[in-house]
Amino acid sequence: MTDKQPQSRTIMVVGGGIAGITAAVEAAEAGYDVVMVEKSPTLGGRVAQMNRYFPKLCHPTCGLEINYQRIKTSKRINLFTLSTVAAVKGSAGAYTVTVKTEPRFVKPNCTACGDCAQVAETAIADPFNYGMKTVKAAWLPHTMAFPMRYVVAPEVVRTPEGERIKAACKIGAVDLDDQGASFDLEVGAIVWATGWKPYPAANLTAYRWAELPNVITNVEMERLASPDGPTGGRIVRPSDGAVPKRVALIQCAGSRDLNHLGYCSRICCLASMKHAAYVREQVAEAEVDVYYIDLRAHDKLESFMRRLKADPQVRFVKSKPARIEAGAEDNPVVCGENTLTRDVYAQPYDLVVLATGMQASVEGDGRLAGSYDDYGFVFTEGETIGAGVASGPLDVSMSVQSATAAACKAIQVVSGVRG
Amino acid sequence: MNALSPTPTKKYDLSFARWVYRNVDGGDRLALCMQCGTCSGSCPIGAQMDFGPRKLFMMIRAGMKEEVLSSNSMAACVSCYNCVVRCPRKVPVKYILQSLFTVAVREGYAQSVDSDNARFARAFWWSAAKFGRTDERLVTARFYFSYGLSAGFKKSMANLAIAKGMVKAKRMHLGLPHTCKNAGELRKILAKAAEIEARHAT
């Protein structure tokens, strides 16, 4: 507790994923003004890219819908998309934050009719689908975008195509002169909900993700299984579009590895079991092998694991595969030692999914939050408040709990209870 | 000579494991092994080993000194380093096997003492210590004849063509062995090294 009274009662939330959204609505509904800063053109973050949640296999769109409603009905939330924090000055109670906004080239009166996309030709890699498909240079970030507004790619702005896109908009919402902006905001507390990014699978050279088409990552699997994904929700081999009959799910691809991520990413075990459920649901004859070091299905999640273990077509193999080799017909061959039987195996599969871990995704110079742990996650202490996966690997429900706690800490700061 | 490693006498006896952690190169990291199997899965000659590295490490922890030191696993290692590069806990598997091999030789375990590796190492060391250089003919001959007179002859004859080729290409010379300058200095250095090693072994 400090004698100094906070100069600003506004709370800034950096990041618009499930943790950022939660922290923002919790603080706003408690009666505090909130400024949200999101790097991408839309809220939703990684959660919007998921097909379903474990363990209940419900759809993330449902929770997002409810939270979007809470944001819409709140008068206290101010949202800046395509924006990042460039600098933080001052201290708890009186921060001056420099926010930098990239141009969207589409004004708020956009009705998301899609006329602009009809005339756009340039194809750009779709970040929402991890580059598994392309989008046209004027596109809606995803079907659950918030705000529901198109984006025009900077690549086409000073081209005839850009002019055609502008002309196609009947209500004149395309603004090719958008320069973006840089401005300062006075806030009393900052909640860092900057989230995570998948560990780059190309770094796992022995697993040859970059070379073998039928070796994919867990986040790519989520997109494959999603109805709004590149295949319309059908799980198929990227090489030939065939339905996979033999699928390997490899745990700890990067996590718990001092050469990559020195920590357990916590969610991958259940995420992979969820992927086993996706495959079994879609392909009746499919056989799934889960390669693991240890299975970390804590408390309520254990029942999900039991359900899968009861399935004779899902096999759990205690082994961290040593390498993946190229086999016939683009079949990746998983090689390693089964540590329970001591058998050395070389097993061909139609599709291999690497459970790559979570890495902190920080903005700017990466040190703006002030306090970080050894792995680059935001460490909540003193003035620094982390929420969700920005503070360490968490699943969605734990992220929401963490964000609610972060909102509470931020409220304590701006109301002078905690400094 | 190194102090002999302790022999576990009762159930859950950690004396041998702790001795290995302290006295074997890389042994301090051995304690971090999480039994994932990457080393054994990466091993190109794992099928020829009595126990793969992962299992060998678990046996060390279990106090199975006799089984560990009398196995062929250490001598079979071909030092490809796949295990060292891939180990998620940065356990220097190859170095540990190498160091355990030395322990097994010193403690007189036949599997290691009589291994090709140990025979060759002894022949190599004899030449290096005596002349300050390795002499291809003498090292090879000592290595071959360590298997006995008739075996030595057989091995020598089998490789005669290679030897002739090497002489022709001037990769193997005829005549007296090459020696280093100041062989006396070398002997002093080796004597000092032996003294230091003996001091550390107690």
Q: What is the pLDDT of residue A378?
A: 93
Chain B residues interacting with chain A (CB cutoff of 8 angstroms): 34-42, 46-47, 52, 54-55, 82, 86, 88-90
Q: What is the pLDDT of residue A96?
A: 96
Mutate to test the interface with A, among B36, B57, B84, B87 (most CBs of A within 10 A): B36
- Flag if A337 and B47 touch (Cβ within 8 Å): no
Contact A96, A90 (CB under 8 A): yes
Q: What is the pLDDT of residues B167-194, one digit of tens each?
A: 999 888 888 888 899 888 999 999 999 9
Instruction: Tell me which chain A residues have a C-beta less than 8 angstroms from the C-beta of B93.
Output: none
- Flag if A321 and B41 touch (Cβ within 8 Å): yes
- Residues lower than pLDDT 50 in chain A: 1
Which numeric CATH code is attached to A11-102+180-195+361-414?
3.50.50.60
Q: Quick check: helix, strand or coil at residue B3?
A: coil
The distance of A367 to chain B (nearest Cα, Å) reads: 28
Nearest residue in chain B measured CA to CA from A251: B36
- Cα gap A240→B148, rounded to integer Å: 61
Q: Is the pLDDT of residue B70 over 60?
A: yes
Q: What is the pLDDT of residue A370?
A: 87
Q: What is the pLDDT of residue A366?
A: 63
Q: Is the pLDDT of residue B161 over 90?
A: yes
- Flag if B86 and A339 touch (Cβ within 8 Å): no
- Flag if B54 and A337 touch (Cβ within 8 Å): yes
Q: What angle do CA A195, A200, A203 make, to 5 degrees?
A: 145
The torsion angles phi and psi of A139, rounded to 5 degrees, stand at: -150, 160
The distance of B143 to chain A (nearest Cα, Å) reads: 34
Terminal-to-terminal C-alpha distance of chain B: 9
- Cα gap B166→B163, rounded to integer Å: 5
Q: Given A259, A260, A337, which is nearest B37 (Cβ)?
A: A337
- Cα gap B170→B164, rounded to integer Å: 10
- Flag if B86 and A319 touch (Cβ within 8 Å): no
Cis peptide before A200 (omega within 30 of 0): no
DSSP classification of residue A384: B
Show contacts of A269-272: CB within 8 Å, 24+ apart. A269/A295, A269/A296, A269/A297, A269/A305, A269/A355, A270/A54, A270/A55, A270/A297, A270/A301, A270/A304, A270/A305, A270/A395, A271/A54, A271/A218, A271/A355, A272/A218, A272/A353, A272/A355
Burial class (CB in 10 A: 0-12, 13-18, 19+), B156: middle
The distance of B24 to chain A (nearest Cα, Å) reads: 22
Show contacts of B194-200: CB within 8 Å, 24+ apart. B198/B1
Q: What is the pLDDT of residue A363?
A: 53
Q: What is the pLDDT of residue B1?
A: 38
What is the arithmetic mean of pLDDT over B72-78?
94
Nearest residue in chain B measured CA to CA from A254: B88
- Flag if A256 and B34 touch (Cβ within 8 Å): yes
Contact A215, A113 (CB under 8 A): no
Instruction: Tell me which chain B residues have a C-beta less than 8 angstroms from the C-beta of A259.
Output: 86, 88, 90
DSSP classification of residue A133: S
Q: What is the pLDDT of residue B10?
A: 87
Q: What is the pLDDT of residue A49?
A: 96
- Flag if A320 and B38 touch (Cβ within 8 Å): yes
Tell me which residue of A384, A380, A383, A381 sits closest to A392, measured CA to CA. Answer: A380
Task: Note the CATH architecture for domain A199-357.
Answer: 3-Layer(bba) Sandwich (3.50)
Tell me which residue of B78, B88, B109, B100 sits closest to B27, measured CA to CA. Answer: B100
Nearest residue in chain A measured CA to CA from B40: A337
Contact B64, B57 (CB under 8 A): no
Q: Given A257, A259, A319, which is nearest B41 (Cβ)?
A: A319
Query: How far out from the chain centre does Cα B14 lie?
Result: 25
Distances (CA, A) of A389 to A15, A25, B19, B87: 11, 18, 42, 27
Rounded to 10 degrees, the C-alpha dihedral A239/A241/A246/A248 comes to 50
Where along chain B do its domains lie?
15-113, 116-201
Rounded to 10 degrees, the C-alpha dihedral A193/A199/A200/A206 comes to 180
Q: What is the pLDDT of residue B183?
A: 85
Cis peptide before A41 (omega within 30 of 0): no
Q: What is the pLDDT of residue A1?
A: 45
Query: Which residue blocks in A250-388 are alpha helix, DSSP H?
Result: 268-282, 302-309
- Cα gap A292→A343, rounded to integer Å: 15
- Flag if B37 and A319 touch (Cβ within 8 Å): yes
Where along chain A do its domains lie?
11-102+180-195+361-414, 115-168, 199-357
Exposure class string for A74-101: b at 16+ Cβ within 10 A, else e: bebbbbbbbbbbbebeeebbebebebbb
- Cα gap A83→B92, rounded to integer Å: 46
Instruction: Tell me which chain A residues have a C-beta less than 8 angstroms from the C-beta of B47.
Output: 344
Q: Quick check: helix, strand or coil at residue A378?
A: strand
Instruction: Tell me which chain B residues have a C-beta less than 8 angstroms from the C-beta of A318.
Output: 37
Give the residue carrying structure tokens 């909102």: A407
Share of chain B above pLDDT 70, in %: 98
Contact A57, A162 (CB under 8 A): no
Nearest residue in chain A measured CA to CA from B45: A344
Q: Quick check: helix, strand or coil at residue A347?
A: strand
How many residues make up chain A in this entry?
419
- Cα gap B100→A137, rounded to integer Å: 62
Contact A386, A192 (CB under 8 A): yes
Which of the following CATH numbers is that of domain B15-113: 1.10.1060, 1.10.3470, 1.25.40, 3.30.1330?
A: 1.10.1060
ipTM more than 0.95? Answer: no
- Flag if A319 and B42 touch (Cβ within 8 Å): no
Q: What is the phi-psi region of residue A387: left when phi exceeds 0, alpha when psi lies from -120 to 50, beta otherwise?
A: beta
Chain A residues interacting with chain B (CB cutoff of 8 angstroms): 206, 252, 256-260, 293-294, 318-323, 335-339, 342, 344
Q: What is the pLDDT of residue A418?
A: 65
Q: What is the pLDDT of residues B8-18, one digit of tens each?
A: 888 888 999 99
Provide the number of CB pairs (under 8 Å) joining chain A to chain B.
65
Q: What is the pLDDT of residue A309?
A: 95
Q: Determine how many CB atoms are found less than 10 A away from the CB of residue B177.
A: 16
Q: In which element (H, E) is residue A250 found?
A: strand A246-253
Instruction: Tell me which chain A residues have a C-beta less than 8 angstroms from the C-beta of B88.
Output: 252, 256-260, 320
The distance of A343 to chain B (nearest Cα, Å) reads: 9
Same fold for the domain at A11-102+180-195+361-414 and the one at A199-357? yes
Q: In which element (H, E) is residue A89 found?
A: strand A83-91
Q: Is the pLDDT of residue B71 over 80?
A: yes
- Flag if A320 and B42 touch (Cβ within 8 Å): no
